[in-house]
Amino acid sequence: MSASARRPDAAQNRTRIVEAARAALAESDHVHLNEIAKRAGVGQGTLYRNFPNREALLAEVYRRDVEELVTAASTLLAEHEPVEALRHWLDRVIDYAEIKRGVLAALEPAAWQDLVTHSHNPIEDALGRLLSAGKAAGSIRADVDAHGVLLLIAYLGRLDREEWESTARPLMNVILDGLSRRDAGR
């Protein structure tokens, strides 16, 4: 059933379930559906009516995060100068990467490989728009592309949960500093 065809309360329940799953993934790679139902304030039947299994729920969390990340690029460019928009977007990437790590740890390899394959191009395109705007404004180096930046960002997936808070944002700042043109302020 499409989101527009759902009753408003059913759509709200689905949203609460996805948000509860996302919050649980931010805390631990081990998420249990009964815990998610409790957090969302719904019964098991409601959870299973929306998501027949754990993989379907985790895939929806991942898809929503990708959609929000991709949509954010245009919104941020409309609200900020290119480098500042990129900085805000990279902050969102850190949040996305944390949830992505949890989703990938909780899913079977075949399921997560399919998710990653379908999300790569939209994310690369969104980053490409941010980089292009920065290049056009003269604030981002001309010799970088979205693919290369994504390779640098991919390291975030290797961080342990214990070092995430202290390491992810400083590493992202190093990446952003490396992308900025040194002569942009002159």
Q: What is the mean pLDDT of each run of 10 residues along the chain (186 residues)?
A: 64 94 83 91 94 90 92 97 96 85 73 77 94 96 94 83 86 92 65
Q: What tokens does 135 get?
A: 């290049």
Q: What is the pLDDT of residue 103?
A: 75
pLDDT number for residue 113: 76
pTM score, whole prediction: 0.81
pLDDT of residue 186: 46
Q: At what angle do helices 8-27 and 33-40 cross, to 10 degrees?
A: 120
Beta-ladder partners of 140: 180
Q: Report which residue type is found at 29.
A: D
Burial class (CB in 10 A: 0-12, 13-18, 19+), 140: buried
Per-residue buried b or exposed e for 57-80, using 16+ beta carbons within 10 Å of the residue's own CB: bbbbbbebbbeebbebbeebbeee
